[in-house]
Amino acid sequence: MKDAYGKLKDYIKKHKLQPIVDVFLFGIITVFFHWLWWHGGLKHFLLEYLYFSELEQFMAHQVFVPSAWIVDHIIGYPLKTMHNTLIFPKNAYVTVAGSCSGLKQFYQWTILMILFPGPWKKKLWYIPLGILVLHIVNIFRIVILSVVVVNWPLKWDFIHESIMRPFFYVVIFAMWVLWVERIRGEKKDGG
């Protein structure tokens, strides 16, 4: 007699529900670990006990330096820098604080990939690649916010909170879809 888990697996396979199950699992992992970070006390614990503040500041600086270089040398905006802050004319500025370091996104990506099914041989290179992608996205996020603060300062809060922050989840979701659809691989058993 088959156990309940086996019957559920057969039902999912028979009705081709695996993509729905995968998206559901993605959502549960992402939402739970987002909650754990902000409301479950994980970030507070890390800041209190594990020198996390220093790591956040170090990583924020790793985002700040290339962002400032791109804004200065490629976009050509006049700017001054001080303490991880890009300072523009007319009192406009963008500060790359510890919470802008990308560490939360690295954590969410890593946990998602550790918990989501797939071969470890592939996870060992795909997790660091995803972290690199998130770091590059974060640099461009700061560059985009610099353009916004110079050209449309009244739109800065909206773009920062409602577009650029959620954009990380779009990138994580896209990398996850790539994992599920192309990289992870599935054993085909004729069914």
Q: What pLDDT sits at residue 187?
A: 56
Amino acid at 36: L
Distance CA 162, CA 170 (A): 12
Q: Is 163 among the domain residues?
A: yes
How many degrees, rounded to 5, is the angle at CA 57 between CA 166 and CA 145?
A: 40
Q: Is 54 among the domain residues?
A: yes
Q: What pLDDT sits at residue 191?
A: 36
Q: What pLDDT sits at residue 2?
A: 67
Containing structural domain, residue 145 = 15-183
Residue closest to 168 by CA, chosen among 129, 127, 139: 139
Q: What pLDDT sits at residue 190?
A: 38
The residues pairing with 94 across neighbouring beta strands, listed in sequence order, are 86
Q: What pLDDT sits at residue 185?
A: 84
45-57: burial string, b at 16+ Cβ within 10 Å, e else:
ebeeeeebeeebe
In which residue are the tokens 């802050």 written?
Answer: 85
Q: Is 5 among the domain residues?
A: no
Q: Tally the domains of the chain.
A: 1
Distance CA 94, CA 145 (A): 7
State the 10-residue block means of pLDDT for the chain, 191 residues long.
Answer: 79 86 93 93 87 94 98 96 96 95 96 96 98 98 98 96 94 97 71 36
Distance CA 90, CA 138 (A): 25
Residue closest to 94 by CA, chosen among 148, 134, 151: 148
Tokens of 99: 């919470």
Q: Is 112 among the domain residues?
A: yes
